[in-house]
Chains A and B, each alone.
Chain A
């Protein structure tokens, strides 16, 4: 299995809703990432988990809450989002737990906040 899967593919939520994005990989990778990508822009790093511990939080607002239940799963919990949070949310993983190496991306969740 050489892919990163993400669910749901699309999500529409109101500003008072709570929802979660899910990401899974079975490649034995030890680092997992959340990125946010706006249209026509490169991905922006949000969080990195290394060996299931949060290694990097790129000053992301607290309405985004990541969770890594085990080495294969990564969640992003969403609460009280703003319309400007609408974007494509990408999950990625890489083999090295200490950083570096090629990153493999999932197909993304297209989030719309109304």
Chain B
């Protein structure tokens, strides 16, 4: 399958902004997704962006997409301790209409 790459760890102080980065290889992706997984829980769909958009904002979340560089980022403004979780970037696998290619996940730790 296609590769989705993310950095593994990020630590920020409460109140700061967090930026989680992702690169992908499949240029035919129509949508790109961000999921959040808290310890012991399932994956929560946070947001997604259409491939024809550069930016999407949803309250404290801002998604930026650079199609030329195949780079996706998730910015969390005013990060709170409740934002501590693993964040997965995902894009649909082109060989299958169903499967999602997940990155390895970025573990975000928010310290007081």
A binds B: yes
- What 0/1 pattern do residues 86 to 114 of A give for CB contact below 8 A with B? 00001010101011111111111010000
Query: In the complex the two chains form, is A42's CB within 8 Å of B30's CB?
Result: no
B14 CB, nearest partner CB in chain A, Å: 24
Number of interface residues of A (CB under 8 A): 30
Chain A residues with CB under 8 Å of B103's CB are 42
Q: Which residues on the A side are within 8 Å of B43 (C-beta)? A: 43, 90, 92, 105
B interface vs A, CB < 8 Å? 30-31, 33, 35, 40-45, 48, 88, 92, 96-100, 102-105
Please report the C-alpha to C-alpha distance between residue A100 and residue B95 in the assembled complex, in whole angstroms. Answer: 11
Spell out A's residues near B (CB within 8 Å).
Answer: 4, 6, 31, 33, 40-43, 45, 48, 50, 55-56, 58, 90, 92, 94, 96, 98-108, 110
B30 touches A100 (CB 8 A): yes
Partner pick for A42 among B33, B44, B98, B102, CB 8 A cutoff: B102
Residue of B nearest to A103 (CB): B100
